[in-house]
Each structure stands twice: as C-alpha cells, then as structure tokens.
Structure 1
C-alpha cells in the first residue's frame, strides 16, 4: 500500500505541476531527451545485472552463489536507483504527467510505478514477516516497470530517432 501511495503521489504531482520544459542538470548533454535516453539505458543495464545476480543468488542459473554476489546485487540496485533520479526528476519537473497518446500515458503511469515498486521492494527486503516468494515477486514487479518505462521512452526514442549525440 505504501508503494502504491508513492506512485499515486508522484502521478498527482506530475499532473498538477506546471512543466518547465527544461532542467539545469541536463548538461553536458545537448538536450533533455539525450540525457534521459542515456541515463535510462544505464538503468536498464543495471536492471539486467540485478536480474542476473538475483537469479544466481536464488540458484536459478545452476551456479554456486559466491560471497560477493549479495554486495554486487545491492550495489547495482542502489546505483540503478541513483542513476534513475535525474531522469525521473526531469520527467516530473520538465514534462509532467502527460496523456496525449497511449505511449506517453503508458510511460507516465509506468514511470510513477517504478518508484512505488522500489519502495515496496525496500519494505519487503527489510521485513521478516513476509513469505519467501514476496522478494522475487516485488523484485519482478520493479524489473517489469523499469523495462516498460524504458521501452516506452528511451528504446522508443532510439527506434524513432536513433541514438542521441
């Protein structure tokens, strides 16, 4: 419920905030879109690392878990979160929650859901009362939202306009 509240709060903020059209932290990128594409690709790469390390830790790759695997999984998750923040802030501040076509509406919804799913994952990871399937379920939801939001933005941009320079 807390994760859902975070997602709704972000969506409401994005809907009522007057978009500025620009952000000061896009430098050294030539445009806000270039910054968002490159950072989003970084988040997607880190999410892939998260998936691989999670599958390895849960014994789904047929490999013996190594002692460094947990710290690598946590570090890549923290880094993915940090790298995503300038993108999310640019989306909310400069563009707001938009719905002028299906792709943009999907992107806006999934973008707010990413942070709701992140909050839910943090809560589940630190809870001792939940069943064992809760962590992979919430982690899978977070991964699905990250893939969806990236597909509806950065990957769409690359397919439409090519890699930003």
Structure 2
C-alpha cells in the first residue's frame, strides 16, 4: 500500500514575502529613476518619430497582451462558462512573457531617458504605477512558484499586476491619445 505525501500546509501570512520583495523592486526602480540623470532619448526609439510615440505604441501592445492574459486566466479558472482547452495554458504563459518583454523598452525609456518625475499628479501616478508593475510582476512569479500559499494568492497578485499595468498605461499612453491623438 503506497502512501501519498500530504499536501503542503498553506500559510496565508506568507503572501507578505513576495509582496515585500516586489515592493523592494518597485522602490529600487523608483530610486534609480529619481537619482539617474535622464538621457532624453534612447537608441531603440529610432523607427518612431519620438520617444513618446514609441512608448504609446509599445504600451498599446502591452495593453492588448494584458487583455489576452485576463481572458485566458478567467477561462482557465472557469469564470467564462467555457470548457477549458489544452492550448489555454501555453497561450496564457506566452502572452504574459510577451507583455513583459514588450514593456521593457517602455520602462527603460521611462527610467533611462525621462527619469522618475513628480511635476504633476498624472506623471507621479504614472511613475508609481509603472514601478509597481515590475514589483507586482516579481511578486506574481514568486507566488506562482510557491506551494505554501493559499489558492487565492495567485489571482490576488495577478489582479494587482493587471491593475498596475492598466493604471500605468491609462496615465500615459491612453492619456496621450486622448490629449494628442494617435502618434504617427
């Protein structure tokens, strides 16, 4: 007779560990953006007419991939009333990886070329949410690989990640489009 190993006991308070590590990442990025002398431009903006055009278009790509992330997560968790499909997991993981990858040139342009700015509430909000996005990403990866956290931890941290990326994009790219139109 074989005995099964008991499932690991969950410890809800352990959610603080990935959240604190994520917060440290967010603060470190904000401090870097604050103390670094802004360069004003980045080499990868070249195909675009301005750094702002590059940031808007890449951010729209991230927003689209975040929507794919949300839809596939809801589908996998059975919240859409649709039968799970075997391709959902790979699509979810790939869209998340691509969203992170596409966000990197935007974040690097923000932190390297423009710095962490505080001259008005919208810009400050964007900077805080932008740095929080990477902290929330780190927290999500840590929660994803933990066996000691309760089942609600992953959707909660994933929701935080989604909220920060949508907030960062709403306070920058969507604001830019509403104010100036789509960049050409």
Whether the TM-score (by the shorter chain) exceeds 0.5 is yes
Aligned equivalents of 1:35, 1:27: Cα separation in 2: 9
RMSD, aligned CA: 0.4
Q: Give 1:90's aligned residue.
A: 109
1:8 equivalent to 2:30? Answer no
Report the counterpart of residue 105 of structure 1 in structure 2: 124
1:33 matched residue in structure 2: 52
Per-residue CA shift, 1:109-159, capped at 9, x if unaligned?
A: 001000000000000001111000001000000000000000000000000
Query: What is the CA distance between 1:68 and its match in structure 2?
Result: 0.6
1:58 is matched with which residue?
Answer: 77
Unaligned runs of 5+ in 2: 1-19
TM-score normalized by structure 1?
0.99
SS state of the match for residue 33, structure 2? helix
For the residue of structure 2 that corresponds to 1:19, the secondary structure is coil
Displacement after TM superposition at 1:27 (Å): 1.7
Q: Does 1:148 align with 2:167?
A: yes
Q: Distance in 2 between matches of 1:29 and 1:97?
A: 22
TM-score, reference length from structure 2: 0.89
Give 1:66 shift: 0.5
The structure number with the bigger radius of gyration is 2
Q: In structure 2, which of residues 117, 120, 133 is the aligned counterpart of residue 114 of structure 1? A: 133
For 2:96 and 2:147, the matched residues in 1 are separated by: 20
Following superposition, the deviation at residue 48 of structure 1 comes to 0.4
Partner of residue 74 from structure 1, selected from 93, 106, 131: 93
Residues matched between the structures, number: 165
Look up the SS of the partner of 2:110 in the other structure: helix
